[in-house]
Amino acid sequence: MDFHLTPEEEAFRAEVRSFLDEHLPKNPNDPQQIAKWQKEVRARRWVGFSWPADVGGGGGTLMQQVIVKEEMAKRKAPPLGSCFMGLAWVGPAIIQYGTEAQKQRFIPDILDGAYQWCTGYSEPGSGSDLASLQCRAVRDGDHYGVNGQKIWTSIAMWSKWMILLVRTDFDVEVKHDGITCLLVEMETPGVTVRPIRNMSGGAVFAEVFFDNVRVPLENRLGEEGQGWQVTVSALAHERSSIAEVEGLRRRHEELVDLAHRSTRNGRPALEDDGLRRRLARFEAKIEAMRFNGMRFLTRQLKGEPLGADTSINKLHRAELEVQVGELALELQGIAGHLEKEIDGGRWQRFALSWPEVVIGGGTPNIQRNIIAERVLGMPKD
Amino acid sequence: MNFGFTEEQELLRREVRKFLDEKGPLEEVRKWMETPNGFSRELWKQLGELGWIGLTLPEDHGGAGLGWVDLTVVLEEMGRSLFPSPYLAQTLAAAAICEAGTPAEQARWLPGLADGSRIATLAVVEADGRLDAEGLRVAGRPADGGYRLKGEKHQVFDGAAADLLVVAFRSGDAPEAISLAVVDRNAAGVEVEAQPSIDLTKRVSKVGFRDVAVGPDALLGASDAAWPVVQRLLDRAAAAVVAEAIGAAEGALQLTADYAKERQQFGTPIGRFQGVKHPLAEMFVDIESFKSLLYYAAWCLDEGEDARRHVSLAKAYASEAFARIGVDGVQLHGGVGYTWEYDIQLYLKRSKWVRPTFGDADFHYDRVAHLGGYA
């Protein structure tokens, strides 16, 4: 066990720190400053830092990427790159399964943040049982004709491209084998996006309808019938919990700050033992996520596969997301349900947006199934 | 960055595992549970010969010179087997002598502890379990260049088997005027009385000091100066308890998971039902999490970094989680879980020992809040 960095890594960290001293935007709300920042980190090749250099990535080590992310999170820097899903899993999937032409066409745009990608996985009848999906693609010469519906597609209305799972074979013994992955331009005729208003009043996700949408064969990612494999290995990239943990630590600080300003029965809220301990319990969960993440990272650095136990941090995250929002509203007492009475209503918005994190990417019960079956060897349902 | 064990540590784990599988299966543990001191002198001797008793003691004094991370490996395996021995008592008493004793005092006491030929234990906690300086009320009255001790220590690990007691006592009027001394268990006025635990694999005693003479040569380090050392020892002790809890909790999970795969109801193994799967998954999530917290705390202890917050996070989390694991483990076994015959109840009882020992969840969460500036 050794949490020290090597001399080379220390030197690299110093480089990152001095870059941050010089280039960190003074005003994180100024779009011009943010745009300038995005250009500078891109020029450094720190966006997609561990991606291969020949597709435009940084060619850095995983550890270097961790250092970059950690230092940036500590300084509350804006995100590296702006194409969130492209960087999280579409890019890695294209690097792993894409043709040379697909890599040349899409990877530089993802790194530059030229436009957004969205992810067309869930369907009205296929949520937790994703592999039962029915949106179909039928081959027609040099195209696929796509018909069907997707739902819960985050940022579909602001995306230029979608990574889409379709069924190309209905006649398979194992339902996973009939699935294919396509890359679809959202402006293609026959694609209709209908935003869904969520319980917080806003709309982040949408329904997407496909009516005889023609997708060129060259936009298939991987082989026909390989879609499930592409998805599973792409989602395995969606892991680095460092930025996530830093975000949670910041939220915890804000919650403590709220607690300092709150009263219960006319007394400072923090004099309440139970309440104080709930705050400390959150710290334990957040730190557990941090050190779990480091143990997973150690395994990755040794070249070992991550396996199902990354579901651990997803479960912690889901629990925290709900409980932090609940505690924030409880702290506000009788004002807890008022839309904008305290802190401009940010805690109310927070307490109404947890499903994005908790349900998206696999519900807690699905994560528990994964652990019980793949780690503990329980029989499958 | 490497958050994993070295090859040497993995080898140590395999050797301890093999030793315990061969010599300390639960059938044997159940036999030792029926004996007065609750452990096997023969195996204790063998632990000494293998060099594991002096694991964390300096090589100059017959130890292996290893750290708290290495110790964690050994304690995890002992916890997994619910292996009863004065190992924890000895390790903590020796750590006190290492931290507080002068080189001469270390040379006097440590070699006999490193090989296990003498058994020592740490006597800090009193009846109410307080872990602050004011909670230490066994008092030393200055006499003959040393002290005469009066008062009572509680829950002294393996007090009945110990030859030596390392005692923390109040030696002056200032709130933190605490001293440490090595007291012979057979000294006049020392009274040891067993405090039977529901966990029969853990033996603790009440130790009364009825005007016990402590000569100047029995003191460890300077008078009145031991409180910072005792605080560090309490962190080491809490970390050690969590290390054992990791193995014990994994043992409980393993037993329960095995049972869930075997036991058939409604024509299928009960492990197929989500009502069984999900609590098992939660056990795993919690164990992995307090494991991560503890490993980092142990590393901090070895590196001389401030370990307080990390020890408290680990102990708080483990105290609550292992208690749940014990209850859920018994419950998932159904009726047989309630029987004396099935082993899961032994793990539930261990969780009752872990929870309050060297600070319960409330104590440690309060310390986290204090260190975080919101208490």
CATH number at residue B177: 2.40.110.10
Q: What is the pLDDT of residue A241?
A: 67
Query: Where do the DSSP E strands lie in A51-104?
Result: none
Q: How far apart are CA A324 and CA A346, in angstroms?
A: 13
3-state SS class at A75? coil
**pLDDT tens column, A93-113:** 999 999 999 999 999 999 999
Taking CA–CA distances from B286, the nearest residue in chain A reads A312
Contact B274 A365 (CB under 8 A): yes
Kindly report the backbone phi and psi dihedral angles of residue B156, in degrees, each rounded to the nearest multiple of 5, phi listed first: -75, 120
Backbone Cα Rg of chain A? 22
Contact A292 B282 (CB under 8 A): no
B297 and B242, same domain (yes or no)? yes
The band of A14, judged by pLDDT with boundaries at 50, 70 and 90, is very high
A246 and A368, same domain (yes or no)? yes
Are the C-beta atoms of B203 and B161 separated by less than 8 Å? yes
A369 and A257, same domain (yes or no)? yes
Tell me the mean pLDDT in the region B130-154: 97
**pLDDT tens column, B310-357:** 999 999 999 999 999 999 999 999 999 999 999 999 999 999 999 999
Domains: count for chain B? 3
CA distance readout (Å), B46 to A45, A50, A273, B19, B116? 58, 50, 47, 10, 9
**pLDDT tens column, A313-346:** 999 999 999 999 999 999 999 999 999 999 999 9
Q: Among B96, B114, B132, identify where a domain stops.
A: B114
ipTM above 0.85, yes or no: yes
Contact A1 B5 (CB under 8 A): yes
A152 and A222, same domain (yes or no)? yes
How many residue pairs bridge chain A and chain B with CB atoms within 8 Å of each other? 156
pTM, two decimal places: 0.94
The band of A236, judged by pLDDT with boundaries at 50, 70 and 90, is low
Spell out which residues of chain A touch residue B289, defining contact as CB-CB under 8 Å: 285, 288-289, 292, 312, 316
Longest dimension (CA), chain A: 75
- Residue type present at position B130: R
The band of A237, judged by pLDDT with boundaries at 50, 70 and 90, is low
Query: Where do the DSSP E strands lie in chain A?
Result: 116-120, 136-140, 143-154, 159-167, 179-185, 191-195, 205-216, 220-221, 263-264, 267-268
DSSP per-residue string spanning A178-219: GEEEEEEETTSTTEEEEE---TTS---EEEEEEEEEEEEGGG
Contact A379 B289 (CB under 8 A): no
Spell out which residues of chain B touch residue A5, defining contact as CB-CB under 8 Å: 1
Closest CA to A311 of A261, A364, A258: A364
- Residue type present at position B246: I
Q: How far apart are CA B65 and CA B302, in angstroms?
A: 11
The torsion angle over the Cα atoms of residues A292, A293, A297 and A298, rounded to 10 degrees, is -30
Contact A279 B296 (CB under 8 A): no
Best A262, A378, A380, A381 residue to mutate vs chain B (most B CBs within 10 Å): A378
The answer to the question of residue B1 being in a domain is no
Quote the percentage of chain A above a pLDDT of 90.
73
Q: How far apart are CA A93 and CA A341, in angstroms?
A: 45
Q: Measure B279 CA to nearest chain A CA, in Å.
A: 8
Spell out which residues of chain A touch residue B293, defining contact as CB-CB under 8 Å: 284, 287-288, 291
DSSP per-residue string spanning B218-236: GEESSTTB-HHHHHHHHHH
Cross-chain CB nearest to A298 (options B3, B69, B362): B3
Tell me the mean pLDDT in the region A281-292: 96
Q: Measure B278 CA to nearest chain A CA, in Å.
A: 5
B235 and B362, same domain (yes or no)? yes
CA distance readout (Å), B352 to A254, B89, B282, B360, B365? 35, 18, 19, 11, 18
Closest CA to B24 of B85, B86, B92, B91: B85
A224 is catalytic: no
B126 and B110, same domain (yes or no)? no
Spell out which residues of chain B touch residue A379, defining contact as CB-CB under 8 Å: 261, 268-269, 271-272
Q: How far apart are CA A354 and CA A324, in angstroms?
A: 10
- CATH code: domain of residue A36: 1.10.540.10
B266 and B365, same domain (yes or no)? yes
A248 and A297, same domain (yes or no)? yes
Tell me the mean pLDDT in the region A285-306: 88
Cross-chain CB nearest to A256 (options B282, B298, B374): B374
**pLDDT tens column, B199-248:** 999 999 999 999 999 999 999 999 999 999 999 999 999 999 999 999 99
**pLDDT tens column, A26-67:** 888 898 998 899 999 999 999 988 899 988 899 988 888 888
Q: What is the pLDDT of residue A239?
A: 56
Q: Measure A228 CA to nearest chain B CA, in Å.
A: 24
Q: What is the pLDDT of residue A377?
A: 97
The answer to the question of residue A93 being in a domain is no
Contact B261 A316 (CB under 8 A): no
Spell out which residues of chain A touch residue B298, defining contact as CB-CB under 8 Å: 1
Spell out which residues of chain A touch residue B322, defining contact as CB-CB under 8 Å: none
- CATH code: domain of residue B97: 1.10.540.10
Are the C-beta atoms of B179 and B243 separated by less than 8 Å? no
What range does the domain containing B188 cover? 120-223
Q: What is the pLDDT of residue A252?
A: 96
B146 and B159, same domain (yes or no)? yes
B193 and B235, same domain (yes or no)? no
The answer to the question of residue B257 being in a domain is yes
What range does the domain containing A331 cover? 239-375
The band of A240, judged by pLDDT with boundaries at 50, 70 and 90, is low
Tell me the mean pLDDT in the region B13-36: 98
Token look-up 């390392």 returns B166
- Residue type present at position B95: A
Token reading at B298 = 């142990």
Q: Among B95, B114, B133, identify where a domain stops.
A: B114
Quote the percentage of chain B above a pLDDT of 70.
100
Contact B292 A279 (CB under 8 A): no
Contact B290 A288 (CB under 8 A): yes
Q: Among A199, A234, A269, identify where a domain stops.
A: A234
3-state SS class at B269? strand
Contact B285 A316 (CB under 8 A): yes
Best B10, B288, B317, B324 residue to mutate vs chain A (most A CBs within 10 Å): B288
**pLDDT tens column, A174-212:** 999 999 999 999 999 999 999 999 999 999 999 999 999
Contact A3 B313 (CB under 8 A): no
Q: How far apart are CA B357 and CA B323, in angstroms?
A: 13
Q: What is the pLDDT of residue A381?
A: 78
User: Above 70 in pLDDT, residue B363?
Assistant: yes
Spell out which residues of chain A touch residue B1, defining contact as CB-CB under 8 Å: 2-5, 9, 63, 66, 294, 297-298, 301
User: Above 60 in pLDDT, residue A295?
Assistant: yes
Cross-chain CB nearest to B296 (options A63, A281, A291): A291
Catalytic residue among A8, A218, A223, A238: A238
